Every structure is written in C-alpha cells, then in structure tokens.
Structure 1
C-alpha cells in the first residue's frame, strides 16, 4: 500500500512532486522534501511549546513518551535516520504526522523535546504497518529509533489506545494535509527501495549500533 499520494484528487500532482511523494529518478532518489518540511513544522511546534512551558503558560503533561532529558539528535536528523533505515514510503511520514496531531489533541499533551522523538518513531512504525505492503518488526524499529523493543511495544500500545485505534486516513484528509504542509512550511507514487538493501550500519554517535538502543532511554 502506501499509495495515498497516487490516489488523492485533492492536492495537485505538482504538489506531490514538490513534496517528493511521487516517483523520482531511481538512480538519485535523495531525501523527499516533505521530510524537511515536516521537520521544520515539528521543530517550530516544539520551540513554541518549550517557551510556553518555561513561562508556565501551559502545563507539560508527562506521559510514557517523555524522557528524562532531550536526546542530542535533532528532529531533522532523527527523521532522516528513520527514513534511511526503515525503508518506508514517504507517505508514511505524512500519515505519521497526522497520527501525532490526532494523539496530542485526544490526549491533551504538547510536543516538546522530551517526547517528540518517541512519538515520531512510534507513529512512523504504526503508519508503515497500516499503509505499506512491507515493513519491519518492532525490534528493528526499536533499533532504528534508539529505544528498547520492550519500550517500543509499550509506546505502540499507548499510541494505539490514544488514537482509539482509528488509523484510517482518507484520501481527502491526506491531500488537504499535503496542502497544509506546503503552505505552513513556506515553501504520489512513493519512493520505493528494496528492503534487503536497507541495513543499520551506523549509530547516532558514530559508534557501533549496540550503543544506540539506550540513546533515547537515558
């Protein structure tokens, strides 16, 4: 699956091409522009909420997605890492962001530096399972995300219950969101890559991958 960009009639084909949701030349696929735009939106949201929490204008509701301290890896770098190793379609990141927005609205929480990473890896994994034909198991996504498998299992269950298991995203909603991303960030046929070509060969700290699993948990 993962073909929401191809089916949508709401947003124009040009927008999908611009966002990198439609097929590009396979010899030089690059990173879809939608990833950087979503990263920018998330970073602005985190910065705004951090400021509001600091000035006590909002209360940060602590959930199991919160860490004791913010990871050193930025949102943009984290999203790029997930895309590089998960092999999921670019459309998954659009759907994942829609899921995150639904979750924070239903659970009345705010995106901050303490929870954004866990919400991202969980939402992308859930989106890949729902819309892509092929996906990895939780243990693999946990390694990509820098958490333990047991923790990611708990995060997935909390996320699904938080969404009331309502994972369907209509073609119209997907198209409208793409228009919103293009507008807010100022400015398909998904990019397909063979799953066997993907492998985790590097860590955020450029050390062996065995040290990655505890990176976010700290």
Structure 2
C-alpha cells in the first residue's frame, strides 16, 4: 500500500514562503493551464510572437528553477506573472498560455516584473541567455508584452496574496497547505505593504474551468476593456502556414 505524500505547511503570507515551494506551486498551475489550453485548436489570428513552432524540451518547473537560479528573481516577480496571464488573456481573449507560449511568456514577464519591482535587476542580455532566446527577440517580446497588457504592470499586495492562497488550495497533488488560512486573508494593506501604483484591481476567487474555452487563473473581466476582435494579419497567416509545415521539428525555448 502506497503511503500518502507528506504534506508541507507553508506560511500564511507569500512574502515568507520559500522560493522553491512557490516555484512548484506556480509550475503546477501553469501545467494545468497548458493541459487545458493545448486542447484548443490554434487559429491564424491567435498566433502571437510568443508562439514556438513546437513545445520546448524543458518542463515549466525546470525552466522556472533555471530562471530563479541565475537571476535571483524575487517572490513578487514570480507571483505577478500569474496576474499578467489573467490580464492579457482578458484583454486579448485569443491569447492562451499553452505549451507553445508559456516559456517565452514566463521569461518576458519575469524580465519586466524585475524592472518594475526590484531595485537591482539584470540586463536583457542576461535574461535572454537564461531563457534560451536571442536578446533581440526578448526585446521584441518585451515591447509586445507591454502593448498587450497596456502598461498595467502593478497590482495590490492583496491580489498577490490571493493568488498565493489559491495556488496552495488548488495544488494538484495537495502537497501544500496553509494552517492559519484565516490570518492570510486578514493582513492589513498599509502603504508600506501595498504593491499598488493606482486604481482598483480584480480580486475574485480562482476558478477551475471545465470547458474548452481558454482558461485563465483569477480575474474579473468586468474591470477590463478587451481588445476588439481582429482579422489575422498577413504576417500571422504566413507564420501560421510556416508553423503548420514545420511543427514537427525540434525547437528550443527561443
């Protein structure tokens, strides 16, 4: 008879959690999102600069561990990546986090978050090398990311805390738990603990989708103004044709 996996208690506040545990939580959520969204057929108008022609050979967990190891990324920069996913997916509904987009999205999000929240951060050449893509491509992805998110790069500390709590609550293996759950939602929002730069932010609970619609994490779409639907551009049609022809070939994260 197999023994039940040992459960690990985590601190109530995300600022106190070990980075390794946070990486496992985020990778678990992204794996589930990708498994869901990979079932959605790709259309030309949904093709973005974040798409690889085939899924990279490195798992999201190992990729995140690599980024953390070589860039010393802070907890807030890891957590806000989930907020960025929700914001972009709500504004551009055709974009989904899949096995073809996740790695490029992650390294771009962490690059931008580090510049936004950290007093000390690396230059793009370092993030590009760690992420396995050319620096010119990271620069291009950074510009596209900022356009897609409309430069809304911050959120409240409470929103990040709710992402953290829900990552623990929905972890697929049930390995982690927060014993003092009630204290995690009652932490005050004084100015010295607030990540907000201005404006209200969504705080609805995380929901697990069971349909074939693109799945996000935690977002109140009523607070956002989605982009109007656009026909595929000539570039997208050409890229989609090339993608269809060469999708069987090996592809690195970049």
Aligned twin of 2:12? 15
Aligned twin of 2:22? 34
Aligned twin of 1:92? 77
Which runs of no fewer than 5 residues in structure 1 stay unpaired?
1-12, 25-30, 188-213
Among 95, 120, 143, the alignment partner of 1:134 is 120
1:174 aligns with 2:160: yes
Which runs of no fewer than 5 residues in structure 2 stay unpaired?
1-9, 177-250
Moved segments of 4+, more than 6 Å: none
How many residues matched?
167
Which secondary structure does the structure 1 equivalent of 2:121 belong to? Answer: coil
Aligned twin of 1:199? none
Aligned twin of 2:53? 68
Q: What's the CA shift for 1:93?
A: 0.3
Contact 2:114–2:121 (8 Å) recurs in 1: yes
Contact 2:11–2:17 (8 Å) recurs in 1: no
Aligned twin of 1:204? none
1:123 aligns with 2:160: no
Residues 116 and 160 of structure 1: CA distance in aligned 2, closer, same or farther (over 3 Å): same
CA distance in 1, matches of 2:58, 2:131: 11
Aligned twin of 1:184? 170
CA distance in 2, matches of 1:115, 1:23: 27
Aligned twin of 2:197? none
Aligned twin of 1:150? 136
Aligned twin of 1:79? 64
1:215 aligns with 2:212: no
Which structure has the greater CA radius of gyration? 2
Among 31, 40, 45, the alignment partner of 1:52 is 40
CA distance in 1, matches of 2:103, 2:17: 28
Residues 190-212 of structure 1, C-alpha deviation per residue, up to 9 Å, x if partnerless? xxxxxxxxxxxxxxxxxxxxxxx
Which secondary structure does the structure 1 equivalent of 2:40 belong to? Answer: helix
Contact 2:85–2:97 (8 Å) recurs in 1: no
Which secondary structure does the structure 2 equivalent of 1:98 belong to? Answer: helix
Q: What's the CA shift for 1:167?
A: 0.7
CA distance in 1, matches of 2:40, 2:85: 20
Q: What's the CA shift for 1:59?
A: 4.7
Aligned twin of 2:5? none
Q: What's the CA shift for 1:32?
A: 2.4
